Structure 1
Amino acid sequence: MTRGGQGLARVAVVVRAGAAPLWWLGLAAAGIGVLVPGLTGRRIGVLAGAALFVVAAAAVAYARRRRYTALTRSTARAGRHDVLQDRAVSTRNWRRGHRWWLLLAFLAGVGSAFAVPAAGGMLLAGCGAGLWLKAAWIGRLERAEEVLLWVRVDWLRRGGRPAGPAVKSYRSTGIAAGDAAPGGSRRRTPALV
């Protein structure tokens, strides 16, 4: 990064980075949890898990939306010397930084099955679904404004959250910049005919 340029990571990619691990670890924990009868019994555990899934997905999807919207309004254009981080690098960095939290969440989900079968795993899966929904919402914001939103990598190192207190503002680029589509999904290249 020369001449004062900053490393930038896509906001939607960072939000979406935790979705897949939480989803799959949650499903695995719920599957293991169904095998354990637990204190409440399987039926109550699965029903409680379904309710927790819906509540967690909604809570995660709607959490901090005002902060994201405020940061979106105060975006500055990315500079010529700013370095745009690849989608795979942003995802890998987030997952490496949170791997122990993901492992602890999985173990807690499996351990909770001895009390309420499958509920802890479904709660984790709901958090993953909520992150996907939040990334999709950010994608709709990006399409509406016709910009892609980026956050400084050094601000992410202080907490890993793209709307955390360390983040002062976002940077923006045109809709075609980077290798991720609006919402953080992999950009699909048109097929050659």
Structure 2
Amino acid sequence: MVRGTYVLARVAVLVRAAARWLWWLGVVAAGIGVFVPGLTGRRIGVLGGAALFVVAAFAAFLVRRRRYVALAGQAGRAPRSVYLQDRRVTARGWARSRRWWLLGAFAVALASSVAVPAAAGMLLAGLGAGLWAKAVGIGRWERAHDELLWVRPEHAGRGPAAPSVPSYEATGPVAGDAGPGGTRRRLPAAAAR
């Protein structure tokens, strides 16, 4: 493990950021696409989109699942010298580095409604739903092992389980500002006052 000062981002927050963007872009594209008559008609478009939603959700949930588990199982303890990136900074950085890809996917989903109404938007939403389920699964792992999983952002450019990611690092369950699964950490009622 490399020692010294560097930045770590939460694995679950990266997955959740992708899920949020794909879900909402898909929902908006599908919502607009429903009002386009299209070549195949609305009924075929929506039924085809529903099938694509289910397939995409399962695919997004299962892809690289073994690699996530392997990296989590081999995670080393993060040194005290690292900087833990805030949840918002991680999510903003993920979106900023992929803004053109997201815009392109949204434009294609909208344009495809001329042929098959709403189907491509539902496909995007399905990818988002599958990634959200994956973030929930990471959260379950983190709760079960009483650890939070982190990755160096420069290694996770193609995803937190990409081949470019050599390893994860782990901290205790109270490190950073996000809870298990990348959710916003809930403050106790006494601390919130």
TM-score, with normalisation over the residues of structure 2?
0.95
Q: Which secondary structure does the structure 2 equivalent of 1:9 belong to?
A: strand
The one-letter amino acid paired with 1:191 is: A
Q: Deviations over 1:98-120 (max 9, x none)?
A: 11111001011001101110001
Q: 1:171 aligns with which of 166, 169, 179?
A: 169
Whole-Å separation in 2 of the counterparts to 1:165 and 1:8: 17
Instruction: Determine the structure 1 residue equivalent to 2:150.
Output: 150
Instruction: Determine the structure 1 residue equivalent to 2:56.
Output: 56
Shift in Å, 1:153 = 2.1
Q: Which secondary structure does the structure 1 equivalent of 2:22 belong to?
A: helix
Whole-Å separation in 2 of the counterparts to 1:113 and 1:133: 27
Q: Deviations over 1:62-120 (max 9, x none)?
A: 11110001101111100010110000000000000011111001011001101110001
Query: Is contact 1:15-1:135 (8 Å) kept?
Result: yes
Q: Which secondary structure does the structure 1 equivalent of 2:116 belong to?
A: coil
Q: Deviations over 1:25-77 (max 9, x none)?
A: 11111111111111111001000011111111111011111000110111110
The share of aligned pairs that are identical, in percent, is 64
Shift in Å, 1:21 = 1.5
Query: Is contact 1:27-1:122 (8 Å) kept?
Result: yes
Whole-Å separation in 1 of the counterparts to 2:4 and 2:158: 22
Q: Which consecutive residues of structure 2, in runs of 5 or more, have no partner in the other structure?
A: none
Q: 1:187 aligns with which of 185, 188, 191?
A: 185
Whole-Å separation in 1 of the counterparts to 2:105 and 2:175: 35
Pairwise CA RMSD: 1.1
1:86-105 residue pairs with structure 2 within 5 A? 86-105=86-105
In terms of mean alpha carbon deviation, does 90-99 or 14-23 score higher?
Answer: 14-23
Shift in Å, 1:160 = 3.6
Instruction: Determine the structure 2 residue equivalent to 1:22.
Output: 22
